[in-house]
Amino acid sequence: MNIYISLAIALAFALASSKLMKFLKLPNVTGYLIAGLIAGPYVLGILNSETVASLGIIPETALGFIAFSIGAEFRLSYLKKVGSAPLVIAITESLGAVIVVDAALIIAGFDIPFSLSLGAIAAATAPAATLMVVKQYKAKGEVTDTLLAVVALDDAAALMCFGISVAIAKSISGSEGFSFSSIATPFIEIFGAMLLGAVAGVVFRFLTMLFTGRGNRLAITFALVFTCVGVGSLLGLSSLLACMVMGAVFCNTSKNSDTVFELADRVTPPLYMLFFFISGAQLDISILPSIGVIGVIYIVARVIGKITGAMFGAAISHSSKNIRNHLGFMLVPQAGVAIGLATTAMSAVPEHGPMIRTVILCGTVIYELTGPLITKIALKKSGEINV
């Protein structure tokens, strides 16, 4: 089966699943994930592991566009209106997840280096599923606006938490002495990604002034998203953060930004379908029985930490009761960044790496299949969608 037939099968399954999800009143993204899971190598095997791996460029590209569109939420006019609330909530919900998971694992008797290394990954949230639910149901309101800003900041918070926690874990375990360079690394990565995104945003503004045709501007959008993803990957920087910053800089400096974001929204739906289908195909449900006590603690404690952390951040930033009561439930999805950090843990803390990766992969299966529905329910309860 060649790659073109594989893509056709993926889109056909995704389209069929969207009709079924509409009938069941579930988010489309849930259907895409389940369709990929069913067609993928771990269930029916219509697409084998090699075929799924050959489509790897699609998830990276889709995540770049998702991050770029989230960057549009950082308009200065909006930030002046909401103040520091999204930043405060992003910090407290990330720290909340890390602290609760760390504490739960340590109380359960697991050693401190392992608990710190696994708990650090709890901060990461997947923005893709959340954004798709928001777009499908055309959610609007203060909760939605705050949510998109929080998930945009979450990537940076997760990188910092992971870098600091792993450095402390190495010091305690004695595998390495305490090193400030280990702590500095995530900050350098974040600064580098922001610098890359800022430069790309300025270039974006200049090129859209030079090229006025809609087709040309769309080509520029693809070229610069590819640039951020490619350079970020090459230099070990967060391509998600780079694309977000590019979108933020572009929307705040260019009068053409609304047109460009509208163009991107029109052409990216098939890309997003393929992204979630492929993500579903990569979910290995056979590992679920191996999750054990560690996995259950991680999955439950992370959700508790996210919800309580978001509630605390909303309270101290004087956000509305609606944000306080519902935002945390929308931060459940976890995927790409968490898996990336788990892969990093394989070399950073090799004595714990395999177990950490297994727990994170199991958690991804559960979070990705349940997260979109939880987000939909929370948005409905907050009164920002009518379904």
Candidates 135, 103, 140; CA nearest to 309 is 103
pTM for the full predicted model = 0.76
Work out the pLDDT band at 7, boundaries 50, 70, 90.
Answer: very high
Farthest-apart Cα atoms in the chain, separation: 62
pLDDT of residue 216: 94
Residues written for the chain = 387
What the block records as the tokens of 169 is 């874990």
DSSP-derived 3-state class of residue 177: coil
DSSP-derived 3-state class of residue 329: helix
Work out the pLDDT band at 33, boundaries 50, 70, 90.
Answer: confident
Higher pLDDT, 187 or 313: 313
Give whichever of 56-60, 128-132, 228-232, 292-296 has the largest mean pLDDT: 228-232
Candidates 61, 158, 143, 137; CA nearest to 360 is 158
Q: CA–CA separation, 241 vs 264, rounded Å? A: 18
Q: CA–CA separation, 281 vs 43, rounded Å? A: 9
Per-residue pLDDT reduced to its tens digit, 166-213: 777 777 766 555 556 656 776 777 788 889 999 999 999 999 999 989
How would DSSP label each residue in 228-249? Answer: HHHHHHHHT--HHHHHHHHHHH
Higher pLDDT, 76 or 314: 314
pLDDT of residue 311: 93
Write the CA distances from 384 to 25, 127, 134, 147, integer angstroms. 16, 18, 9, 12
% of the chain at pLDDT higher than 90: 24
Q: Does domain 3-381 have CATH number 3.40.50.1400?
A: no
Least confident window among 78-87, 156-165, 269-278, 334-343: 334-343
Write the CA distances from 141 to 134, 187, 234, 379, integer angstroms. 11, 32, 38, 10
Average pLDDT across the chain, whole number: 84
Work out the pLDDT band at 346, boundaries 50, 70, 90.
Answer: low
- Structural domain spans, the chain: 3-381
Candidates 196, 271, 205; CA nearest to 238 is 196
How would DSSP label each residue in 193-236? Answer: HHHHHHHHHHHHHHHHHH--SHHHHHHHHHHHHHHHHHHHHHHT
**Residue located via tokens 């930033």:** 317
What the block records as the tokens of 349 is 């803390």
Alpha-carbon Rg for the chain, nearest whole angstrom, is 20
Question: 247 exposed, middle or buried (CB, 10 Å; 0-12, 13-18, 19+)?
Answer: buried
Work out the pLDDT band at 308, boundaries 50, 70, 90.
Answer: very high
pLDDT of residue 183: 63
Per-residue pLDDT reduced to its tens digit, 285-295: 777 776 778 88
Q: Judge contact between 262 and 46, C-beta under 8 A.
A: no
What the block records as the tokens of 355 is 């177990």
